[in-house]
Structure 1
Amino acid sequence: MSDRYLGGEPLAEVVRSGFVESRHSGSIVVLDADGEVTAWAGDVLGPVFPRSSNKPMQAVGMLAAGLVAAPAELAIISASHRGQPVHLDAVRGVLGPLPATALGCPPDYPLSEDARDDLVRAGASRQPLFMNCSGKHAGMLRTCAANGWPLAGYLDPAHPVQVAIRHGVESLAGEPAAAVGVDGCGAPLLAVSLRGLAAAFLRLVSAAPGAAERRVADAMRAHPDLVSGTDADGHDTHLMRAFPGLLSKVGAEGIMAVAVPGVGAVALKIDDGSARPRLPVLGAGLSRLGFSLGKYADMPVLGGGSRVGSVRAVW
């Protein structure tokens, strides 16, 4: 494995009014149901920071460390939620008696514009609870409480909860973390390859019922509304609603990972960090496995509120 991400190949282009407005390069790997690489482009062995696509693996690490959680709780722990009321209630449920002041993620407003506007009109200020990673942090705190570990310092990579999470991520990816960074929410961020990320998602959906990996995958698929949200940008929610059995988790900086049991898995990264090409490129990857995203692979380009073009895969 190379010691850094080397960049990728042309994957998508933005077409507006018949003209190519911009192009996006990146990397993508496609695994079949047996975990074999069937197609790829760019650098799929150099490590990347999968950002929030790591969350399902982090949840598995928490379960292995003794976290006891219901399916809806596992879904919000694995989520990049939009801060809608149902999401905030779910995070509070994970915290239980633990104080919201213990959350180590930064204060923020919800990603959902409607939820944000409602809170602003009500006079609410930014809070860690509203931040899209608060579910994951609540899960970390609850895991600490279950083990008698200190809540203070739970974001230190050497803290027992982070050691357990690292073991979970590395076991699922089938490779050691190449680097440890700090995610936008302040939690340790582990770098793995796109190949390892795709393999991890395939293991999540292929594990035996009742296994920690399968429990996380089943929870996310049973409660897709908690994983992202019901507004237009909630891609994970919309995909898992539309395709029962599909597991999806996006990450910042153009990352996305998807697995379909009995079909395979895809992991991708857009080099410039853009989110807009992810679905068309994902559609191109899944098509190699005979799986069609249909309308969800079509990303329109708007002008004046009307469709004037599209983002299309060129891989």
Structure 2
Amino acid sequence: MSHTTLPIRVPGEPPVIREPAHVPVAHVVRGGVVEGVHHGSVVVLAADGSVAFQAGDIEAACYPRSALKPVQAVGLLRAGLPPLDDAALALVAASHSGEAPHLATARRILDTAGLAERDLRNVPDLPYGVAEREEWLRHGLGPSRLAQNCSGKHAAMLMTARARGWSLDDYLDPDHPLQREIAAAVADLTGQGIARVTVDGCGAPLFSVSLHGLTRAAARIATAAPDTEEGRVGQAMRKHPEMVSGSGRDVARLVRALPGLVAKDGFEGVQIAALPDGRAVGVKIADGADRARMPVTAAALARCGVDPQLLAEFATTPVIGGGRPVGTLRAAGALAT
């Protein structure tokens, strides 16, 4: 089906596509010896939006992966997503674990729109959460579109397309009016053009921006008035961090430890976190290692002025030898000074 071309407002130039100049940001220390080094890039924004700290290459084009979901959620609201309660809206911005409330809420979004799981076009998968996946397999269940961690976002995309009278089968086409509306929100909130469009793991269009732009978007969401689309997404994510991730996941625990924080992780070592006054951090681990993501994020938040005692449980990860801790994974380089 052909679509009417909608203009995308591009506030600034897109970031440059290049090999990022990442720097060491984390050390794996075993028995007092640096066993491994994770490279990456980090940006810390002050409350006025200026760059208070940076390490590595914060302006190169990168793929935010699921860290972009809060921005996509704003785009869906701007495109006409019908009203949802905060728990459901949090799931729209989620990479959920596949817990019962996650699946029930995704199903509720579909039911409200008169749709079903078969209408989803995300890639079928097992639940993302380890315990949830094991339980799923114990019951003899296989991959499903509802269990896949992006099902909340996809359910909301379908709900929006139906509300606007747009076609459903091709809602993931980058030229679909829905995706063009989302792209416009990405450009607006990041303050830059989109460098490249590709396909994310779930099948949805993925927009390449810089780490700086992504972090700027997180700050926009965290500081927005509650009656705006950005503010509604931020409020939902703050109130229901377990819907955005899962019970016990590190991002949910971080939001609970820092009231008012908006935070979202993404595959390939991406993390954003923003405080209500506009202070914000963005992290990209070069090798995509998830284990380095949270210690580096904690160090960046300390650079924001967050009390290190509140960050203590996130600042290091134990390195295990013989079944006991023999070292730590911790922030390094300029972040450690």
Could you state the TM-score of these two structures normalised by the residue count of structure 1? 0.96
1:161, 1:92 → 2: CA distance?
21
Residue 5 of structure 1: CA displacement?
4.3
Deviation at 1:16, TM superposition (A): 1.4
Match of residue 239, structure 2, among 194, 199, 222: 222
| Corresponding residue SS for 1:129 | coil
Which residue does 1:44 correspond to in 2?
A: 58
Q: Are 1:139 and 2:156 an aligned pair? A: yes
- Of 112, 116, 122 in structure 2, the residue corresponding to residue 99 of structure 1 is 116
The 5 A counterparts of 1:55-204 are 55-68=69-82, 69-96=84-111, 97-204=114-221
Deviation at 1:290, TM superposition (A): 1.1
Q: Deviations over 1:152-205 (max 9, x none)?
A: 101000001101111111111011111101100010000111110110000001
1:4 to 2, 6, 18: 18
What SS class does the counterpart of residue 206 from structure 2 fall into?
Answer: strand
More displaced 10-residue stretch of structure 1: 146-155 or 276-285: 276-285
1:118-142: CA deviation from partner (whole Å, max 9, x where unpaired): 2222222211111111111111011
Conserved? CA contact 2:263–2:273, under 8 Å: yes
* Pairing 1:301–2:319 present: yes
Describe the superposition over 1:230-276 as per-residue Cα deviations: whole angstroms up to 9, x where unpaired.
14xx2221111111101110011111110011250000101111011
Three-state SS of the structure 2 residue aligned to 1:209 is coil
Q: Secondary structure at the match of 2:48?
A: coil
Distance across 2 between alignment mates of 1:266 and 1:213: 18
2:34 to 13, 20, 29: 20
Output aligned runs, 1:214-293, within 5 Å.
Answer: 214-231=231-248, 234-262=249-277, 264-291=279-306, 292=308, 293=311
- Which whole-Å CA distance do the structure 2 matches of 1:117 and 1:295 have between them? 26
Q: Residue 117 of structure 1: CA displacement? A: 2.0
* Matches of 2:21 and 2:218, distance apart in 1: 22
Which consecutive unaligned segments of at least 5 residues does structure 2 have? Answer: 1-14
> What is the TM-score when the length of structure 2 is the normalising length?
0.90
RMSD: 1.2
Please say if residues 82 and 112 of structure 1, whose CA atoms lie closer than 8 Å, have aligned partners that are also in contact: yes
- CA separation in 2, counterparts of 1:24 and 1:237? 24
Q: Following the alignment from structure 1 to structure 2, what is the Cα–Cα distance between the partners of residues 299 and 263?
A: 28
For 1:205 and 1:184, locate their aligned partners in 2 and report how far apart those are by CA, in whole Å.
26
Kindly report structure 1 stretches of 4+ aligned residues shifted beyond 4 Å.
none
Q: Which moved more, 1:133-142 or 1:296-305?
A: 296-305
SS in 1 for 2:171: coil
CA contact (8 A) 1:5 1:43 kept: no
- Asked whether the 8 Å contact 2:187–2:194 carries over to 1, the reply is yes
Mapped contact 1:4–1:48 kept (Cα < 8 A): no
State how far apart, in whole Å, the 2-side matches of 1:307 and 1:210 are.
48
Distance between the aligned counterparts of 2:247 and 2:42, measured in 1?
Answer: 27
In 1, Cα distance between equivalents of 2:133 and 2:208 = 31
Q: Could you tell me whether the CA contact under 8 Å between 1:5 and 1:48 is conserved in 2?
A: no
- Contact in 1 for aligned 2:107/2:116 (Cα 8 Å): no
Unaligned 5+ segments in structure 1 are none
Instruction: State the one-letter code of the partner of 1:286.
Output: L
Contact 2:194/2:207 (<8 A) preserved: yes
For 1:42, the aligned partner's letter is G
CA distance in 2, matches of 1:116, 1:272: 25
Among the aligned pairs, what percent are the same residue? Answer: 47
Please tell me whether the aligned partners of residues 7 and 271 of structure 1 are also in contact (alpha carbons under 8 angstroms): no
C-alpha distance in 1 between matches for 2:323 and 2:86: 39
- Which stretch has the larger CA shift, 281-290 or 164-173? 281-290
